[in-house]
A and B are shown apart, each in its own frame.
Chain A
Amino acid sequence: MLLEELSNAFGPAGCEDEVRRLLARALHKQVDRLETDALGNLIAFKQGTGPEPRLKVMVDAHMDEVGLMVSRFEKSGLLGFRAVGGLDARLLLAKGVLVGENRLPGVITAPPIHLTTPEQSSQILKIEQLVIDIGAASDDEAKSLVRLGDYATFDTQFQLLREDGLRTVKGKAFDDRVGCAIATMLAEEEYAVDLYLSLSAQEETGLRGARVAAYRIEPDVAFALEGTVCDDAPRKEDVSPTSQLGKGPAITVMDRSFIADRRLVQLLTDLAETLEIPYQFKQPGVGGTDAGAIHLARTGVPSVAVSVPCRYIHAPVSMASLNDIDHTLTLMKAALQALPERWPALS
C-alpha cells in the first residue's frame, strides 16, 4: 500500500529524498512532467483536458516529517540532538529512533536516574537534556558510525489495526504522508483543469518549500492536503475537539497561518452535502499549513486546506482512519471536477 511505504520512509525536513523517490516513481506514469526544484519540492504537472484558458490548480502536500538532528557527541558515545520541526520533549523519552543514512537503530534516553536528584526526576526534561544511545562505547566509536548533522526519525512501522469499522491504521509521519498519498491518487484521474501537484519540502520548519513552489507555479487556486490534529479523547467539558477520527475530511476555515477563501470552503461543503460525503470543520485558530505560505505568493492565491484527522501527530506513532482518507480523496476529486464550472460563478 502506498501509504504504508510513504509512512515508513525516512524523510525529516530538509532530507526528503527517500519520500521524493517513492512519489516520483508512483507519479511518473500519471503526469506529464515531474521536476525537483531548489528546495527539494517535487512538482508534478498534469495538463487538463478542457479547452483553454484552463484554470491552474495547485494541490500541495508536504513530504517532510518532524525529526531529530545529531548536534553533539558526548564522551560516553551518547548523541545530543535538536528537534527539526515541532516536537514535544515529553513524548521522546525511551522511544526508538533510526539515525543517519544507514538507519542505525538507537534509543532516546536521559541521564541515568542514579545521577538525578528527586527534584530533577519529577521535572519535565527539555530536548537539550536528552540523548540518543546507539550503543557506541565512546565518542570515537560514535563518530565512526554517525556524523554531526545526521538526521534521525522515529522507528515506527506502519500497521493496519482494524480491517472494518474505522479501518484504523497506525504509523509515523501521517502528517503529511496521508496528504502525499491522496495527492498521488488524485493524479490517477483526468481533469479539465491544469493540475500542479506540489509535494513540498520543509513544511515543518516554516512552510518553506510551498512558498517557493507557489511563487513558481502561480496557481489560480490552491488546496493544501494535510494530516491534522485530532484530539477527540473524551473530556469533561463540552468543547470542540480540533477534529474527530471517522467524521471525514476536516475543512479549515481559519488557522494560525491563513484565513481560507470562503468560496473554496463553500465549494467543498456544497459538494460534500450533495455527494453525501461526511465532513467536519477543523477548529479555527489551531496550527498552520502550507496554505499559509501559498496564499501570500505574488499577488495572492485563493486557498483552502483539507485535512485527514490524525491522532497523536508529531508523536512517534500516529493513528488515522482509512475511511477518512477515502472520503478526503473522493471530495478532492469532486472539487477538481467541479472547479471549471463552479469557480467562475463563485468568484
Chain B
Amino acid sequence: MRDLIARLTEAYGPSGHEEQIREIIRTEVEPLVDEVRTDTLGNLIAHKRGAGGGKKVMLAAHMDEIGLIVSHVDEKGFLRAQPIGGVDVMTLSGGRVQFSDGTTGVLAPEKRSEFQKGPELAKVYIDIGATSYAEAKARLGQAVGFVRPFADLGRRIVAKALDDRIGCAALIETLRQLENSPHDVYGVFSVQEEVGLRGARTSAYGLEPEVGIAIDITAAADTPEAPKLAMKLGEGPCIKVMDGGMLAHPGVKNLMIETAEARGIPYQLEVLPSGTTDASAIQLAHSGVPVGCVSIACRYYHTPSEMVDIEDVENTVRLLLAMLEQPFQL
C-alpha cells in the first residue's frame, strides 16, 4: 500500500482540476469492481455489486487537494495567486508548486522580515523562472498543487495531500478486498471537497444511497501545544461523532463501534470542533441519508507535510470490510 499512497499523494489534483489523479485511481479500481464511470462534475464512481440482502452503500473519499490559482501575471513574469480551499499561508514561504503540465514554481514572499510579522497570500508570488511577461502570460487562470515527495518513516508516513489521498488509498484497498458482501457498494472518489463538498453533493443526489460513509483525515491532537482533542496517531481509525458540519447518524456510528469492538479493531471516538467532510453533503441529499465518517488521524493537515500512522490506515480498511461483511439495520 505504501507505493500506492506515494503515487496518489504525489499526483497533481487541486479542486476542479482532478483529471490526473482520477486517471491514476481509475487504473487502480477498474479491475476491482463491476463498473466505473465518471459523472458530470468529475466524480469517479466505482460500483461493486452486492450478493443481495444488503443496502446501497456510498463510500466517499475526495481526490482533490488544496492549491492555488494564478490570478495575475506581472510585467516581469512573476505570478500572483488566490487560494483553492483552505491554504495555510504560513506554509507557503519557500515551498514549491506544480502546474498540470509539470512546470515547477517557487513560492516566494516579498520582504521576508515583514512577511514573518504578518504573512498574507497577497504578499506571496510564484516564480516559474520566466524572464518576461510573454513567457508567463498563458499561466493566468491555471491551478497549482503543492510539491513534496512521499516519505516513509516506518510506522508513520509523510506526504502532501494525505488529505484525502490516504482516504482514497483506504477506499481502493477496501474495494480490492471486498468479497461477497450483501451490500451494493459505490466507491465514490469525489471532486471539489476542499471548496465546499461539491462533488459529494451531486454524486449523492445521483446515487441516492441508503447509507453514506466518508473516509477522510481528521486533526491529530498529539503534538506539542495541540488543542485539547482526543484524536491521536496510532490509536486506530476515528469514528466520527460530530464535526463542524454534521452529527453522525447514531445508528451508523454505533454500527462502527460495535463492529470494531466485536473484531478487536482499535478505534477512537472523534469530536472535531470545526472542519467537515463529504459526509455532511451526503447527509442532506434528497430527503436525507444516514451518514457516518471513518477518519484517519493526521498531523499537520493542510500543510505540504501531513503525517499519518500506517496501522491506522490498515485498521480503517479492516473496519470498513468488517462493517460490510453482513447485512445490518440502523
In the bound assembly, the distance between CA atoms of A95 and B123 in angstroms comes to: 36
Contact (A284, B75) CB under 8 Å given A253-B69, A300-B202, A301-B40: no
Is A283 in contact with B195, judged by CB distance below 8 angstroms?
Answer: no
Q: Which of A240, A259, A281, A299 contacts B202 (CB 8 A)?
A: A299
In the bound assembly, the distance between CA atoms of A285 and B82 in angstroms comes to: 6
Which chain B positions have C-beta within 8 A of A301?
40
Which chain B positions have C-beta within 8 A of A258?
198
Chain A residue at minimal CB-CB distance from B199: A300
Q: How large is the interface on B (under 10, 10 to 19, 20 to 34, 35 or more residues)?
A: 20 to 34
Which chain B positions have C-beta within 8 A of A93?
none
Is B202 in contact with A296, judged by CB distance below 8 angstroms?
Answer: yes
Which chain A positions have C-beta within 8 A of B84?
254
Given contacts A296-B202, A299-B40, 15 further A-B contacts (CB under 8 A): A238-B74, A239-B122, A240-B71, A254-B82, A254-B84, A259-B15, A262-B16, A281-B141, A283-B71, A284-B141, A285-B82, A295-B41, A298-B202, A299-B206, A301-B40
User: Is B54 at the interface (CB under 8 A from chain A)?
Assistant: no
Is A285 in contact with B202, judged by CB distance below 8 angstroms?
Answer: no
Tell me the chain A residues, 129-183 only, with Cβ under 8 Å from chain B.
none
Contact mask A275-287 → B, CB, 8 Å, 1/0? 0000001011110
- Nearest CB of B to A130, in Å: 31
- Nearest CB of B to A214, in Å: 11
Contact (A298, B205) CB under 8 Å given A253-B141, A284-B69: yes
Q: Which of A254, A259, A286, A300 contacts B40 (CB 8 A)?
A: A300
User: Is B22 at the interface (CB under 8 A from chain A)?
Assistant: no
Which chain A positions have C-beta within 8 A of B174?
none
Is A259 in contact with B205, judged by CB distance below 8 angstroms?
Answer: no
Is B39 in contact with A281, judged by CB distance below 8 angstroms?
Answer: no
User: Is A316 at the interface (CB under 8 A from chain B)?
Assistant: no
In the bound assembly, the distance between CA atoms of A285 and B16 in angstroms comes to: 13
Which chain B positions have C-beta within 8 A of A283?
71-72, 82
Chain B residue at minimal CB-CB distance from A286: B82
User: Is A248 at the interface (CB under 8 A from chain B)?
Assistant: no
- Nearest CB of B to A42, in Å: 26
Which chain A positions have C-beta within 8 A of B305?
none
User: Is A106 at the interface (CB under 8 A from chain B)?
Assistant: no
Give the number of residue pairs across the A-B interface with Cβ within 8 Å: 58
Chain A residue at minimal CB-CB distance from B203: A299
Is A302 in contact with B201, judged by CB distance below 8 angstroms?
Answer: no
Q: Can you offer 6 A-B residue contacts whose CB atoms are under 8 A? A: A238-B74, A254-B69, A254-B84, A258-B198, A284-B71, A295-B41
In the bound assembly, the distance between CA atoms of A283 and B70 in angstroms comes to: 9
Is B140 in contact with A281, judged by CB distance below 8 angstroms?
Answer: yes
Q: Which of B16, B39, B74 contacts A299 (CB 8 A)?
A: B39
- Nearest CB of A to B54, in Å: 24
Is A300 in contact with B141, judged by CB distance below 8 angstroms?
Answer: no
Q: Which of B15, B80, B198 contacts A296 (CB 8 A)?
A: B198
Is A284 in contact with B82, judged by CB distance below 8 angstroms?
Answer: yes
User: Is B266 at the interface (CB under 8 A from chain A)?
Assistant: no
Chain A residue at minimal CB-CB distance from B122: A239
Is B201 in contact with A296, judged by CB distance below 8 angstroms?
Answer: yes
- Nearest CB of A to B297, in Å: 29
In the bound assembly, the distance between CA atoms of A295 and B41 in angstroms comes to: 8
Contact (A285, B71) CB under 8 Å given A254-B16, A259-B16, A298-B206: yes
- Nearest CB of A to B328, in Å: 27
- Nearest CB of B to A278, in Å: 15
- Nearest CB of A to B196, in Å: 8
Contact mask B237-271 → A, CB, 8 Å, 1/0? 00000000000000000000000000000000000
Which chain A positions have C-beta within 8 A of B83?
285
Chain B residue at minimal CB-CB distance from A242: B71
Which chain A positions have C-beta within 8 A of B141?
253-254, 265, 281, 284
Contact mask B23-42 → A, CB, 8 Å, 1/0? 00000000000000001110
Which chain A positions have C-beta within 8 A of B283?
none
Q: Which 4 A-B pairs have the closest CB atoms?
A: A285-B82, A259-B16, A300-B40, A240-B72
User: Is B192 at the interface (CB under 8 A from chain A)?
Assistant: yes
- Nearest CB of A to B281, in Å: 9
In the bound assembly, the distance between CA atoms of A52 and B80 in angstroms comes to: 46
- Nearest CB of B to A309, in Å: 16
Tell me the chain A residues, 285-344 only, with Cβ under 8 Å from chain B.
285-286, 295-296, 298-302
- Nearest CB of A to B62, in Å: 14
Which chain A positions have C-beta within 8 A of B75?
238
Is A240 in contact with B69, judged by CB distance below 8 angstroms?
Answer: no
- Nearest CB of A to B195, in Å: 7
